[in-house]
A and B are shown apart, each in its own frame.
Chain A
Amino acid sequence: MAERKMVNLTIEGRPVSVPEGTSILEAAKVAGILIPHYCYHPGLPIAGVCRMCLVEVEKAPKLAPSCATTVAEGQVVRVHTERAVEARKGVLEFLLINHPLDCPICDQSGECELQDYTYQEGRGESRYREPKRFNPMEDFGGDVIYVPNRCILCTRCVRFMEDVAQDTVLNVCERGDRALIGKFEGKDLTHPWAGNVVDLCPVGALLSKDFLNKSRAWELDRSASICPNCTQGCNVMLETRDAQIARIKPRPNEAVNKFFICDYGRLNYRWINRTDRLEQPMVRTSGALQTIDWDVAIHAAAGLLRDRRAYVLASPMLSNEALHLLSKLASRNAGTREFRVATGDEAPLAGVEDLALRRDRAANVYGAELFGFRRTEAPLSSLAASDVLVVAGDDLKNIDPSIVERAAEVIVIGTTLPEAARNATVALPITNFAEEEGTFTNLRGRVQRFTQAKPAPGLARPSWLVLGDLLGVLGQQQEFFLPSEVFADIARSYHELAGLSYDRLGMKGLPVLSAQPAGAPA
């Protein structure tokens, strides 16, 4: 990367050094100061219209919009002077005169920037005595509802659709205080990435229909995770209420998804909340699957596998940790490792390089391949009568039960018991990705961590724990107590991941190859 000239300046008395061309607002972030703002968003072109981020720049006659003013050498910026605070207080008052005080029924309440900054530096009481402007709510199509009365015309949504999605659907129509966000004739927010306008909206003007009136923002628990719905590996926040995913929000990662996620990933979360789960370990006794305790079940599975070849059909939705251990299980007696992937249409986000809803609709296709699993359209095609079929996470949909029945024994390691595997000998319940900790490898080979967002149902255990115990009983290795230990085992076993650890990955992940420390053996 070309060296950029650094510029030194002082913000609120704190010296800060940032690359040339940085805005004062971004430089202030580096100095640990948040300048209040609405229209500015790091993922969008500058508009400079809300006038909230006004600061005092020494020697400048007027207050400067810090989002649209670039830093200069020796500049002295003051954010909290009386003049700047008064100006922002004025903006807040203007924004609020026509804004309904309906926070108690507004979905944005609790995560609303208008609320936050008003508490921070607004007036305690309104001087506005006139009737408020009223416009009816409008269905913008897709997952989006527009409540014009709450709109502060920051135009983030317009700029997102125009410059990032590059599908011009929204505009500012009318002038003066009659202005509102409009939709071009015959167009709807049906773009596959349009749902981001809801996240971008700093107030409650653009709302998700899916989340409408579902929960207050402060009732949600947030867990950092990775979207499992395609190979892009967008960083997300799983937001849960009462142990159910209530919504999925993007988690910024400059290297993967910037600030965005697609609507498919955003809305495809109900399967995570499924209640028809496999909750207890089961072993076939007297012709029927009977619930039994974990130790017995693991030993039963180990007994089936001890002297036979394992044919592992794994799901690419499983973590690196699970796939690594499954791979070990299969390689014991030169077994088979395969997986299949559901696919759909690719939907790129035009304004961001290398960001798309990918064709492969599973999180860990790259990981599965890395651990030796073969991608196939015709699973179980080489299943031999002497094989023990291990169905790990695959739902066996569209697979003829008679093919499954060819196997000597069937072990299910999954979140549900597939219809086609009703005759399984052992069923081991595992957690889904939202109920455990682990890593996925995205299509660019970036390894990213996800954390547990909701409790495991019944007696289900994390996949890495179940597989670790199974391998332990088979004498393959020591037991694992933490997923980070499984990952350490991966880092020892694969040169691509050498030197990596959960600590080094952090919450933004690292690409597998370039993560090698200098001088490490290839």
Chain B
Amino acid sequence: MGYPHPLHERETPLLSQYFGDPEARSLDGWKSRGGYKGLEQALGMAQADITNVVKDSGLRGRGGAGFPTGLKWSFMKPGDGKPHYLCCNADESEPGTFKDREVMRWTPHALVEGCAIAAYAIGAETTYIYIRGEFTEPLLWMNRAVEEAYADGILGANAMGTGKRIDMHVHKGAGAYICGEETALMESLEGRRGNPRIKPPFPAVSGVFGMPTTINNVETLAAVPQILLQGADWYKKMSLSNPKSTGTKLYSVCGNVKKPGTYEVVMGFPFKDFLYDLCGGPLDGRKFKAVIPGGASVPIQTMAEAEATLMDYEGFVAQGTMLGSGGVIVIDDAQSMVRVIARIARFFAHESCAQCTQCREGTAWTTKILERIRDGHGTMEDLDTLIEIGENMTGTTICVLSDSCAVPVISGIKKFRSEFESLIQGRRVHPVLEAVA
């Protein structure tokens, strides 16, 4: 079942199968749809075997970085005498991304089950699900699901009657984009200001409360139960392109497109078909101009690049961008790229945690210049300055927020320079009116 649109025949609904089905939210509803079979199976397996299945499946982090999930789990060393933690990163705040929200709204038990399996596999006594504070509805459903799972004995000191302990807590974030960065999330979870930490040490060595921690995205964890039930090979085969990218991926599509929403396709799906067929193409009388395929922090694609893209980790990189979070932002010819980029920069300037100099000052400076150009007061030197600022902001800070701000600016100026130049030259372009004339 797709949501809010009817399921498209070319979608592969693994995670989104029950989106829009209110009955799947309850424990009973979830169980009658095959829920918690994966956890039951997992609790009968050796911990390392679960990790190996996930490793073999080729599942990679769906939060943006694409790190192999099984490998990440194998960094944990259960039985070293320390407390271990699993963190579920549900602080989905990348502009244009709302896939995790749908998972939590419609299938909260899928996430609880995925978390429980992962927690058992890595030997984490406690799981924290850190949910973005603005996600009031997902919070409601997740809290309810965790309560139900405790009441039913799925979680707790004697999980599913196996004598194994799995504890789970839902934590509400306080409204900072940066808390989606894994180490900032941990700081925030510990009750401090959400500032990213210097790495190393990595979370597997020193994470939540300084203890070994694994942190995974919602979509990653929600995919685990089915991988366990159906096997690594089944999951691995779901790829149209590259064996390094397996399974399905949720995309949240927004912007100037006929059918925005959350879509699920297998890795390697042609982006052109995705945009024109699944998403219904551009609005009437308009043309696509650009796509930001993985949330606001990945490079902007021209349509030529987008149409040549196969949707997987490597496919997006081959066409000059990244899969990122799967937040597809479609921009059509009625939009000014300068306005779009200035708005994105403003977002990052607002959300910079202010630790690193380049980010604190660079994001704000970039925004000020872009908004000046937008308002018709730019100079040609500004474009060079913007690119140089962007270069100084790249690869020099604790986390990648600084890079994330520079990326759309640099790619935007390089790919849509004429729009900047015409604004600077005082010619206010209105693409639609101009097209009509």
Enumerate chain A interface residues (CB-CB to B < 8 A): 46-52, 54, 62-63, 65, 68, 86-87, 90-91, 93-95, 97-98, 127-130, 152-153, 155, 171-172, 174-179
Contact = CB atoms under 8 A, between A and B. Distances in A.
Interface string B333-374: 000000000000000011111111110111111001100100
B287 interface: no
B364 A177 contact: yes
Contact of B357 (A46, A51, A172): A51
B364 A49 contact: no
A178 B398 CA distance: 19
A202 to B, nearest CB: 12
A63 B395 contact: yes
A94 B350 contact: no
A50 B198 CA distance: 12
A90 B369 contact: no
B350 A175 contact: yes
A48 B398 contact: yes
B392 interface: yes
B77 interface: no
Given A46-B198, A87-B392, A94 B353 contact: no
Contact of B363 (A50, A52, A86, A177): A177
B396 interface: yes
A94 B392 contact: yes
A179 B358 contact: no
B437 to A, nearest CB: 34
Contacts of B362: 94
A28 B356 CA distance: 23
A171 B354 CA distance: 12
Contact of B193 (A130, A171, A177): A171
A51 B397 contact: yes
Contacts of B385: 127
A404 to B, nearest CB: 61
A95 B365 CA distance: 11
Given A130-B365, A176-B350, A90 B193 contact: no
B86 to A, nearest CB: 27
Given A97-B361, A130-B365, A130-B369, A174 B354 contact: yes
Contacts of A175: 176, 178, 350-354
A46 to B, nearest CB: 7
A311 B193 CA distance: 64
Interface string B290-329: 0000000000000000000000000000000000000000
Contacts of A47: 355
A153 B354 contact: yes
A384 to B, nearest CB: 68
B358 A51 contact: yes
Contacts of A52: 357
A127 B383 CA distance: 12
Contacts of A94: 357-358, 360-362, 365, 392
Contact of B365 (A68, A87, A97): A97
Nearest to B176: A175
23 contacts: A46-B198, A49-B355, A49-B398, A51-B358, A62-B396, A87-B392, A87-B396, A94-B358, A94-B360, A94-B392, A95-B357, A95-B361, A98-B361, A127-B385, A130-B372, A153-B357, A155-B355, A171-B193, A174-B354, A176-B349, A176-B363, A177-B360, A177-B361
Contacts of B397: 51
A412 B360 CA distance: 63
Contacts of B351: 175-176
Contacts of A97: 361, 365
Interface in B26-68: none
Contacts of B360: 94, 153, 176-177, 179
Contact of B396 (A51, A93, A171): A51
A176 B350 CA distance: 6
Given A68-B198, A127-B385, A176-B363, A50 B354 contact: no
Given A51-B396, A130-B372, A90 B356 contact: no
A172 B198 contact: no
Interface of B: 176, 178, 193, 198, 349-358, 360-365, 368-369, 372, 381, 385, 392, 395-398
Contacts of B358: 51, 90-91, 94
Given A130-B368, A175-B176, A49 B356 contact: yes
B395 to A, nearest CB: 5
Most A-side CB within 10 Å, residue of B351, B361, B363: B361
A155 B354 CA distance: 11
Contacts of B363: 176-177
Nearest to B394: A62
A153 B353 CA distance: 11
A413 B308 CA distance: 95
Q: Which of A65, A68, A95, A176 has the most chain B CB atoms inside 10 A of its CB?
A: A176
A68 B395 CA distance: 16
5 closest pairs, A vs B, by CB? A90-B392, A179-B354, A177-B364, A94-B361, A130-B368
A135 to B, nearest CB: 13
B34 to A, nearest CB: 44
Given A91-B357, A175-B178, A177-B365, 19 more contacts: A49-B356, A51-B358, A62-B396, A65-B198, A68-B198, A90-B358, A93-B392, A94-B360, A94-B362, A129-B369, A130-B372, A152-B357, A153-B357, A172-B354, A175-B352, A175-B353, A176-B363, A177-B360, A179-B354
A79 to B, nearest CB: 15
A178 B360 CA distance: 9
B349 to A, nearest CB: 5
Contacts of B372: 129-130
A48 B198 contact: yes
A95 B193 CA distance: 22
Given A49-B355, A51-B356, A90 B365 contact: no
A396 to B, nearest CB: 55
Contacts of A176: 349-352, 354, 360, 363-364
Nearest to B193: A172
Nearest to A67: B198
Contacts of B198: 46, 48, 65, 68
A98 B360 CA distance: 11
Contacts of A51: 356-358, 396-397
A171 B365 CA distance: 24
A130 to B, nearest CB: 4
Contacts of B352: 175-177
Nearest to A95: B357
Q: Which of B349, B351, B396 has the most CB of A within 10 A?
A: B396
Contacts of B350: 175-176
A63 B396 contact: yes
B354 to A, nearest CB: 3
Nearest to B178: A175
A172 to B, nearest CB: 6
B354 A177 contact: yes
B222 to A, nearest CB: 31
Nearest to B391: A90
A174 B352 CA distance: 10
A52 B398 CA distance: 12
A70 to B, nearest CB: 10
A62 B400 CA distance: 13
A63 B358 CA distance: 14
B260 to A, nearest CB: 29
